[in-house]
Structure 1
Amino acid sequence: MKFKFETLLIWQKAMDLGEELNVLSEAFPTKEKFNLSSQICRAVDSIALNISEGSIGQSNAEFRKFMSYSIRSLAEVVTCLHKAQRRKYISDVEFEKYYSDSFNLMNMMIAFKKNIK
């Protein structure tokens, strides 16, 4: 038996991205523990959390609202990636990989949100 959200590809991909960025952020300097590391982890976790919370809501309008929160959290993650790259905490290769993953997930989430009737 599964919860509805567990079958959603966007939730699965958000979960994967969250785990990958959690590991990535562990390599940030100690001075970032309560700043950028914390921020990127909270933002990336919010993506999957909001998808799951919205999926069990009372209405499709509520689900769309929570999908908007997820999309905003993903935009925050992308900004954190830019900050990490500019501060030389991640390589250009790492940035490109997670930027691409984020871009693809964003497109999937926007399309999914548009199809919530």
Structure 2
Amino acid sequence: MTAEKTLVLVVDDDEAVRESLKFSLELDGLWVGVCKAGEELFVHPHLSAAKCVVIDIKMPDMDGISVLKALRLLGLKLPAILITGHATAALRRRAIEAGACAVLQKPLLGTVLPDCIREAIQLD
């Protein structure tokens, strides 16, 4: 599978973060869809085609761990990377227990996010 065909969905309530992640990941050759809340993710028209989801942990209605748990309850096992401004050991443990493959600390500098996505979905 080529990177151009790889859909990544980004869920973040902050429009500036959503758009900057979309822009940078598209520059890296990924196809990116964005959602402003977990509830929007569940009705995204391309959710079933997604190869990875990037979810902000701190969101108003449904936090990132709750979103991830709901995805798992729906039977969706796609790799999930959680992003946060405050990664603690307890938060990382909760995220991994919920099924996250990684928890990344903001700001996401360099190629840390695309590298993590590729590792998660095992792209060449």
Scaled by the length of structure 2, what TM-score is found? 0.27
Using CA pairs under 8 Å that are at least 6 residues apart, name the structure with larger relative contact order, 1 or 2: 1
Larger Rg: 1
**Higher share of residues assigned strand:** 2
Scaled by the length of structure 1, what TM-score is found? 0.28
**Higher share of residues assigned helix:** 1
